[in-house]
Amino acid sequence: MDKNSFYQLLKARRSIRKYKSDPVPREVVERLLEAAMEAPSGKNRQNWKFIVVTGEKRDQYLQYSQKAWEKLKDILKVRLKPSLYDFTERFFYTLGQAPVLIFCYAVKSPEEKDLTSIGSVYMAVENLNLAAFAEGLGCCTMGAPLEMKEDVNQFLGVTDWKEFQSQQLELLCLVTIGYPDHQPPKAPRQTEGRVTWL
């Protein structure tokens, strides 16, 4: 692999919050998930679970996204410029028309520290982000479902799973996926003071 292409991929990737109506073929989504599951993981436990939501079920989820906005809007009002705040509100209400939602869970274990289990799944999520970009797709990783974890778990039906009932299953994020319908600028990377050499 050409190393320059790899670094260009990292620099070109950005979070997308507005999508075309075109459906994403199932085989493409399956490739993204295969890429996600190539990630490293603590003790090679590969402790990720993904729930793919499309169609009518995806539309039903919007009510939860809208409730999450109500919990986050005051914080975001302080952090975002007015135009970006309005755009973000629309995104929460529509999820940018993304046709595919992927909910990402960690299966925790007494043998593993919680943060290691969580970190393993987020490495898979980064693979998913990069694979989506390589496929010509856009995506946005959201922590918003954590604002109403109990409701989202019920909505997805995971409360009946044995891992959930034994308190091993933890929702970590949602990834929206679709073909991009905008090209937002990438926020400058903040590198100052982020690295210490000893």
pLDDT the model gives residue 108: 93
pLDDT the model gives residue 57: 98
pLDDT the model gives residue 72: 94
Per-residue tens of pLDDT for the chain, all 198 residues: 789 999 999 999 999 999 999 999 999 999 999 999 999 999 999 999 999 999 999 999 999 999 999 999 999 999 998 989 999 999 999 999 999 999 999 999 888 888 999 999 999 999 999 999 999 999 999 999 999 999 999 999 999 999 999 999 999 999 999 999 999 988 899 999 999 999
DSSP code per residue over the chain? --HHHHHHHHHH--B---B-SPPPPHHHHHHHHHHHTTS--GGG---EEEEEE-HHHHHHHHHHHHHHHHHHHHHHHHHS-HHHHHHHHHHHHHGGG-SEEEEEEEE--TTS-HHHHHHHHHHHHHHHHHHHHHTT-EEEEE-GGGGGHHHHHHHHTGGGSHHHHTT-EEEEEEEEEE-BS--PPPPPP--TT-----
Q: Which of 183, 184, 84, 174 is nearest to 129 (CA)?
A: 174
Structure tokens at 180: 């991009």
Domain ranges of the chain: 16-54+97-178
Whole-model pTM?
A: 0.95
pLDDT the model gives residue 2: 86
pLDDT the model gives residue 110: 83
Please check whether the domain covering 16-54+97-178 is classified as CATH 3.30.420.270: no
Backbone angles phi, psi at 104, to 5 degrees: -115, 125
Structure tokens at 74: 């005051």
